[in-house]
Amino acid sequence: MSVRRVLVVGGGIGGLSATIALRRAGVEVDLIEKNSEWTGYGVGIIQPGNALRALDGLGLAQECAAQGHPILGTRSWTADGATLLQDNDFPAAVPGLPPSNGITRRRLHDILVAAAEDSGADIRTGVTASAVEQSAAEVRVGFSDGRRRGYDLVVGADGLYSRLRDEIFGTHHRAKFTGQVAWRVNLPRIPGLDRLWMYRGSRGTAGFVPLAPDLMYLLTIEKVPDSAPVRLPRKGLAAVYRERLAEYGGPVAHHRELVRDDAEVLYRPVDNVLLPAPWYRGRVLLIGDAAHGTSPHCGQGGAQAIEDGVVLAEEIAKQLPVEQVLDGFMRRRFERCKTVVEGSERIGRWEQDHSLDIDPDAAAFEVTMAAMAPL
C-alpha cells in the first residue's frame, strides 16, 4: 500500500469515522484531538439513511439505531399550524435499519470513540500538531507533546474553523456567516413523535427531532431579527429563545414554556464553507466540516463527514500511489458535498427571504435523495 501510516487531526465525527475505516483497511493510524477530554456536546443529531449506510460499513449502525430513535420522514406546517407537507417519508438505505435515526451527540460520540479505541489506533487527547512539513516522500509532524513522526498522509478533520485549512490553503477559505443562527435544546419527547416535525416561521424554521423514547430536541434555525445582536451572552439565553419562538403555535407554543435553563440552551451563528477542489495539497487532505461545512438544513454535515472516512479507506485499499488515492477520493466526494452545502444554503436563503422561488421541503428532499445515491 502506498498509504500505510496516517495521522488524523481532530476527534469529531469525521476524524473518528476516518480512523475506524482506515484501521479496518489495515492502515496504521495516529489520531490527535486538541481537547483533553471527549466532550461530544449534549444536543442531538439526525442520522439520515446515508449516514446509517456508511456506519453500517463500519459495524456501528445497529448500535446507533439501538441507542437512538427512528425518524420515518418529515411533516411540516406553517408557524400557526396549517399543514404544508404530510408524511414525506424517506426510504431506508439499509434493510432492517430505520430510514433515519435521531441520537444524542453524547451517545454517538461514545460509540465512535469506543470503536476508534478498539480499532488499535494510537489516540492522544490534549494534543495538537505544532509543525507540519512535507517532502515528496512523507509529511513530518511535530506535536505539542514534544513528539515527532513521519506519515504517508495527514487527514485534517479539525472542523469548520480548521487551523490546518488556514495553514495549508490560506485564511481566505474561512467559513462565512450565512445570516442565520441556530438554537437547540433537549426536551422530553412528545408521545408519537416519529418524524421531523417542522414549523415554517417568518424568519426561519422550528422543528422537533426524536432522539430516544423519552427525549427529543427542539431546533430553530432563524435569521436574527433586525437590530438584534448575533452574539449573545449565555446568561439570559432561555428567555431570548422563548421570545424568538413566540410566533409559533401548536406544540412549539407549549414546549417553549419548558425552555427555562440557560445552561441547557445551545445557541450559535450558522457558518458554512465549501473549499474548492481539490481538498488536498501534497500529502495533507481535509475532510468533514474542514472541507465542506454545511448549514444544518438537510441534517447532512455529520453524514458527509462519515462518508469521507469510508471513501478514503476504500480508495487507499486500492493500493494506488498517493496522488491517485487522493484524486479518486475527490472524484467521489466533491460534487456530492457541494450538492449538500449549496442545497442547504438555498433553504437558508429562502428562510431569510420568502419571496425567493424555493420550496424548502422539496429542496431538502432533493438533497436527501441525492445523498442516498451510492457512494
Ligand X SMILES: Cc1cc2nc3c(=O)[nH]c(=O)nc-3n(C[C@H](O)[C@H](O)[C@H](O)COP(=O)(O)OP(=O)(O)OC[C@H]3O[C@@H](n4cnc5c(N)ncnc54)[C@H](O)[C@@H]3O)c2cc1C
Binding site for ligand X (CB under 6 A): 9-15, 32-35, 45-46, 51, 128, 157-160, 163, 182, 184, 288-290, 296, 299-303, 305
Closest contact distance (angstroms) between CB of 150 and ligand X is: 18
Min dist CB 83 to ligand X, Å, is 23
Q: Can you list the positions of beta strands (E) in the chain? A: 5-9, 28-33, 44-47, 69-71, 73-78, 83-89, 100-104, 122-125, 129-134, 139-143, 148-151, 153-156, 176-188, 196-200, 204-212, 215-223, 266-272, 280-281, 284-286
State the Cα angle at 365 between 46 and 72, rounded to 5°. Answer: 50
Three-class secondary structure of residue 327 per DSSP: helix
Give the residue from 241, 246, 285 showing the smallest Cα distance to 259: 241
- Judged by CB, which is closer to ligand X: 179, or 249? 179
Smallest gap from residue 163 Cβ to ligand X (A): 4
Minimum CB–partner distance for residue 271 and ligand X (Å): 8
Q: Is the CB of 13 or the CB of 168 nearer to ligand X?
A: 13
Minimum Å distance from CB 351 to ligand X? Answer: 14
Residue number with the shortest CB distance to ligand X? Answer: 12
Give 49 or 299: the residue with its C-beta nearer to ligand X.
Answer: 299
Of residues 56 and 158, the one with the C-beta less far from ligand X: 158
Cβ nearer to ligand X, comparing 290 with 316: 290
Backbone angles phi, psi at 20, to 5 degrees: -65, -45
Cβ closer to ligand X: 122 or 323?
122
Nearest to 350 by CA among 203, 199, 149: 203
Residue linked to cell 422530553 = 188
Check: CB of residue 241 under 8 Å from CB of residue 43: no
Report the nearest approach of ligand X to the CB of residue 312 (Å). Answer: 13
